[in-house]
Structure 1
Amino acid sequence: MSIVEKRKIIDSHAPNRSTGIVNGQSSNILNWDDVRYSWAYPKYKVMLSNFWTPFEINMSKDIKQFPQLTDVEQEAFLKIIGLLALLDSIQSDYASKVADYLTDSSLNALMIMLAQQEVIHNHSYSYVLSSIVPKKKQDEVFEFWRTEETLRERNDFITNGYRAFSENPTIENFLKSIIYDVILEGLFFYSGFAFFYNLARNQKMVATSTMINYINRDEQIHVGLFEKIYKEVLNENPQYRTKELEEFAVETFRQAALLEIEWGRQVIGDKMDGITMPELEQYIQFMANKRCNQLGHGRAVFPEAPINNPMRWIIAYQEVDLGKTDFFEQKSRQYTKTSDVNGFDDL
């Protein structure tokens, strides 16, 4: 198997425009007007225009509402935040490792931006928790990845998948790690997202759900970026487009979906008004098929799953332009920004 070589800091004998996505030649000088992949600059512009920080969200209403949630809602809220914090922490590190191996300087830049966005996501979880619960409880939530069995099983699934590439950076392991990445960013968050959006459509914890929508938007862009990288690696190294890789992808998405369904059963189940477990299970199966198909491996993960999104109401929360309309009230809205005087510790 071909080892993926690390990118050189600078190579004076190579062209600025890379000769390949991995194991190519590049001076590592970034000139956005002279890059190998035409889709890289549009991705850069979108990621740049979507820049946000948690301080833009006014948490004052959520602070008042959180004690009014049911015990079941509060428990699910905190456990899901704990899950998201762990996954985005992993993702920051994975993106930085991928950046080391991408020969193309424009894609290296996109990976660095992606990692920075994951840091912002993690900050947002601290921001939310520090607003609504005491420091002791916040620390407890950030330890859920150690104490919750279902969480540990899910986390091990991803970290073990990433570890193979980290310890043995072959092209095959790189491709497999991207499959795990798409699972993390495009499947493992989605029952949690559904929970927050369901709260929001009942006018509960709207500020938190707005922040989740920013994160959701970023993750969809990240999935699209890794989809492009995955396909370019295969285009430039067609010998790795094998039946074995396709079978691996389908089976890995299946295992991941079953873990996500089990997690949804534990934190949502039939305990939440507005979400039933059967529709959540179908939704996760639908998303597993969708993500597998994005990578070019078809919808064979769950052949019996619906072709269309079975939770149609969720589209209103996922596919909106946050810069123009409020996705809960569908009207123009300006969020109050915090300042040094009104920091999130004081909300």
Structure 2
Amino acid sequence: MNPLLTLDDQRFVLFPLRFPQIWDMYKQALSCFWTVEELDLSHDLVDWDTKLNADERHFITIVLAFFASADGMVNENLVQRFAVEIQSAEARCFYGFQIMMENIHSETYSLLIDTYIRDPQLKDKMFHSSETAQWIMRWLGADRPFCERIVAFAVVEGIFFSASFASIFWLKKRGLMPGLTFSNELISRDEAMHTQFAVLIHSLLLSRPHRDVIIAIVQDAVAIECDFVREALPLMIQYVRFVADWLLQAFGVGKVFHDQNPFDFMDMISLSGKTNFFEKRVSDYARPVDNSDAVVGRSFSLDVEF
């Protein structure tokens, strides 16, 4: 039996800690708390109306619609499945906080959509079923074993969001949409942490999916994500594969795609434990934690050999 999934009375009591590495990640997540009220969107509409072309506005609209719907699916999975199935008190703390942060992400996407999309009919047409949504429902369905669903969950947070995050960082490089790009920094940092946590939970399971299953989950997701970005920014395909290789290595499988990072604005190298995966330099925008040494030692970095 997997201790993380086994019922026992200790799940009601935090101390003594049974999974200190999970507790460290929970404390790290707490230090990154933020709210929608801290965002300033006052300058974005000028850029939206005068500096972005129609194709760019259309792409951002699609990205925001995807973020909003995918985040809702993520939260539903957390509330209905993971937070119920997991029996570690430390992991339940993390999932409880993650659920709250996903609610903040959802509020942020709704605010961004309401700010930029002023046509009510267009708003109604934004949300529809997609290949990505079908993939999420298939791999995160209740009929799948927990060990497969935790891998799929990391893929959703780590791969399906990757190209969209990078496209918004590209806007930041151009000095556009400061409110959107700052929210993107905060949310991408959160999602990187959630990806890292899923990888950690996977590593603590006694029974894990066969490597072929992990590769199949990742390759399926990469194909869908590459189709999504192929027309908008072809170089993004290389970036998606690069991120997928990182995740495969994190799961102990090894690289499959062997692509390099094509974007200098998405330099995913950890700098003294402060700049983590997707995070850029937003780590200064965080609350201090007492166990920082323990947390930094487990930072979500890409200092492994590629």
1:52/1:138 Cα in 2 relative to 1: closer, same or farther (>3 Å)? farther
Query: For 2:251, which of 292, 295, 299 is the aligned residue?
Result: 295
In the alignment, structure 2 segments of 5+ residues that lack a partner are: 269-274, 286-306
Asked if residue 262 in structure 1 is aligned to residue 223 in structure 2, the reply is: no
- Aligned partners of 2:282, 2:261: CA distance in 1, in Å? 22
Who is 2:133 aligned against? 155
Give deviations 1:155-187, integer Å, cap 9, x for gaps: 101111111xx2x36xxx111111211111000
The TM-score with structure 2 as length reference comes to: 0.84
Cα shift at 1:137: 5.1
Asked whether the equivalents of residues 62 and 126 of structure 2 are also in contact (C-alpha less than 8 Å), the reply is no
Asked whether the equivalents of residues 78 and 141 of structure 1 are also in contact (C-alpha less than 8 Å), the reply is no
Cα shift at 1:310: 2.5
Asked whether the equivalents of residues 200 and 206 of structure 1 are also in contact (C-alpha less than 8 Å), the reply is yes
In the alignment, structure 1 segments of 5+ residues that lack a partner are: 5-19, 147-151, 270-276, 326-347
- Aligned partners of 1:312, 1:108: CA distance in 2, in Å? 37
Asked if residue 80 in structure 1 is aligned to residue 63 in structure 2, the reply is: yes
Query: For 1:100, which of 84, 98, 113 is the aligned residue?
Result: 84
Give deviations 1:271-326, integer Å, cap 9, x for gaps: xxxxxx1x3211111111111111111113x2xx23x423232127933342537x
Give deviations 1:62-96, integer Å, cap 9, x for gaps: 02211121000000010000011111101101112
Which one has the largest radius of gyration?
1
- Aligned partners of 1:75, 1:30: CA distance in 2, in Å? 49
Taking the TM superposition and a 5 Å limit, the aligned residue runs for 1:136-151 are 136=120, 139-140=123-124, 142-143=126-127, 145-146=128-129
Give deviations 1:77-134, integer Å, cap 9, x for gaps: 1000001111110110111220111111111121111111111111101111222222
Taking the TM superposition and a 5 Å limit, the aligned residue runs for 1:1-347 are 20-31=3-14, 33-68=15-50, 69-96=52-79, 97-134=81-118, 136=120, 139-140=123-124, 142-143=126-127, 145-146=128-129, 152-163=130-141, 166=142, 168=143, 173-233=145-205, 237=206, 240-241=207-208, 245-266=210-231, 268-269=232-233, 277=234, 279-300=235-256, 302=257, 305-306=258-259, 308-315=260-267, 318-322=278-282, 324=284
Identity of aligned residues (%): 19
Cα shift at 1:38: 1.3
Asked whether the equivalents of residues 159 and 243 of structure 2 are also in contact (C-alpha less than 8 Å), the reply is yes
1:61/1:47 Cα in 2 relative to 1: closer, same or farther (>3 Å)? same
Who is 1:15 aligned against? none
- Aligned partners of 2:242, 2:91: CA distance in 1, in Å? 30
Who is 2:303 aligned against? none
Counterpart amino acid of 1:255? D
Counterpart amino acid of 1:292? L
The root-mean-square deviation of aligned C-alpha atoms, in Å, is 2.1
- Aligned partners of 1:138, 1:47: CA distance in 2, in Å? 35
- Aligned partners of 2:211, 2:76: CA distance in 1, in Å? 26
Counterpart amino acid of 1:315? D
* Count of aligned residue pairs for this structure pair: 275
Asked whether the equivalents of residues 249 and 255 of structure 2 are also in contact (C-alpha less than 8 Å), the reply is yes
